[in-house]
Structures are given as structure tokens and as C-alpha cells.
Amino acid sequence: MRYIVTGGAGFIGSNLADTLAQHHDVVIIDNLATGRRENIEHLLDHPRVTFVEGSITDLDLLMDTFPGADGIFHQAAIASVPRSVKDPIETNTVNAAGTVNVLWAAKECGVPAVVAASTSAIYGDDPAFPKRETMAPTPLSPYAVSKLVGEYYGKVFADLYGIRTAFLRYFNVFGPRQDPNSEYAAVIPKFITRLLGGKPPIIYGDGEQTRDFIFVADVVQANIRAMESDARGVFNIAGGRRISLNQLVAILSEITGTRCEPIYEAPRVGDIRDSLADITRARDAFGYDPQYPVEEGLRQAVAWFRERA
């Protein structure tokens, strides 16, 4: 097969491109705004991999690149709640308008399927647990709104133009290649790098907020299974278990052998309080079956960051 991976130099996209390149031709599209060349350096000379530097906001580039593709894995996004609060216009341009570009170019170029990254942030702070795809969206940030708009466009394009679209609502993904240095970095790489550096992790809030963490290899599995199936619609991708940030720090402290009491700061605007997924729909539709318990994933993540410390 010939697959396109937008955002293929990013954290999730590069892990996905790695796995796809074992058996398929892969075209990576990334403008390196948040993705990193070092994530795909080992793929640049791969006989089945092509790298196109550019943005999903460039429709002409997509129209030139998509012909002949068997499917699009759409991972490109500005994936940050705080950044979206700071600059909702940029987030909308990339996440919402960029997704329309991807869907339109797929339609115009005859690509039959798009599997796209969405987010659990769509559920907001609805108190019902676990989160099910049938729940009404209650987004709390421009980021969540922009991803919800993408899902709606996906359904409309499927209904109007016959493209099969599947949007995967990622919960809290972690693992190798996650960037700890950004101002808007996710919590796990920040916790790991601070602990490995002998510094206390910083928690925004009281630390009792909960998350449903999922290792990146399981997210890769979900994307490929969704593409290879007839799945369409929206699907939760998570581990189906939640832990608090205080518990997370305790686990990471044991793995790293470091004892640093967290620093607690004020909660951030737009952050949700608790998160837990029902993953039944993805399991039934395309056999999604997460293989990595949180503790095992954290050990692998710590080992990766330790090698690069």
C-alpha cells in the first residue's frame, strides 16, 4: 500500500511511520513546526519512505502529494490546550481548516479512506464516566472545538462524497519521542525529564485530577487496524483505566529512583478535571486491544529519555 502520514515527524506520526514503513510505502508530510527532523532522520534514506516538507494548510501541496495513495493517516495538528487558549486563530487554521484541506484533497485525488487523530478533550468536564462516543460534546478550549469541527467535517465528507473516515479520540498518549521542552508539552515527558534531572515535577492543581493514559505503540496499532478495517465514525483510543497525577508521580519516582515532592501551582485554564474512556466501540469495530499497561509504557518512556539525558 501507499500511505500518507500528515504530521509524520511528530511524536505519534513518526512512531506510526516507523511501523508502516516495515510493509508499505510511506509519504511523510510535516512542516517541522512542532514535528522534529530527528524523529524521522533514520527514515530519510529508507527505500519506502518519502519526506515532503510542508503544511496541511497548503492545499496545492496536498493535491500534488495525495494522488495514488491508498489511505491518509491525518496526524498533523496543533495539539495543545494552552496554546489554543493563547492563539485560537492559529489553532483553528491548522486543526479545522487544515483538516478540511486534507479531506478535500483526499476526495479530489480519489483516496478512499482517511483515519484522523481527534481528542478526548471534546468531552470536556462532563461528569459521566466512562466517556462514550454517544455523549454530547462539551468542549472547554479552542483546541477541543477545532478537533470537534474536524470530526463533523469528516462525517459530512463521508456522507456527501463517499470517503471512509474514522476519527480516533486519543486520550493521554505518551511514549518515546514526546517533546518535553515545549512550553506546552504534555505532563509525562515533563515529569520524566525533571525527575531524571533531580528536579521536582510541577503539577497544575491538586494532583488528584485523573487521566486515562495510553502508550504510543497502542495508538499506532489503533490507527493501522482502523485503516485496514471498514470502520467509520468516531472511536475512543485509550487504556480504559485512569490514574491521578499524584499516582503518576509516585510510579515515575519509583521507576527513576528519584524522590522529589511535586510543586503544586494553580490549575490551567481549559484543562479538564478527570478522564476515563470506554473503548468498547473501537474493540468491536476493528479489534483494538491495548497491550501496554501504564507501568510498562512508563518504563519504556523513562528508558528512552534516560538514553538522551
Q: Which residues are part of the catalytic machinery?
A: 143
Alpha helices in the chain (DSSP H): 11-20, 37-40, 59-65, 81-86, 88-91, 98-108, 142-161, 187-196, 216-228, 245-256, 280-286, 294-307
Q: How many CA atoms lie within 13 A of 136 on its CB side?
A: 3
Q: How far from the centroid of its chain's Cα atoms is residue 29's Cα?
A: 16
- Cα(297)–Cα(290) distance, integer angstroms: 11
Helix (H, G, I), strand (E, B) or coil at 21: coil
Phi, psi for residue 25 in degrees, rounded to 5: -80, 135
Neighbours of 284 (CB within 10 A): 11
Lookup: cell for 191 = 515529569
CA gyration radius, the chain: 18
- Cα(35)–Cα(56) distance, integer angstroms: 13
Beta bridge partners of residue 215, listed in sequence order = 174
Neighbours of 115 (CB within 10 A): 29
Tell me which amino acid residue 31 is: N
DSSP label of 109: T
DSSP string, 189-219: HHHHHHHHTT---EEESSS--EE-EEEHHHH
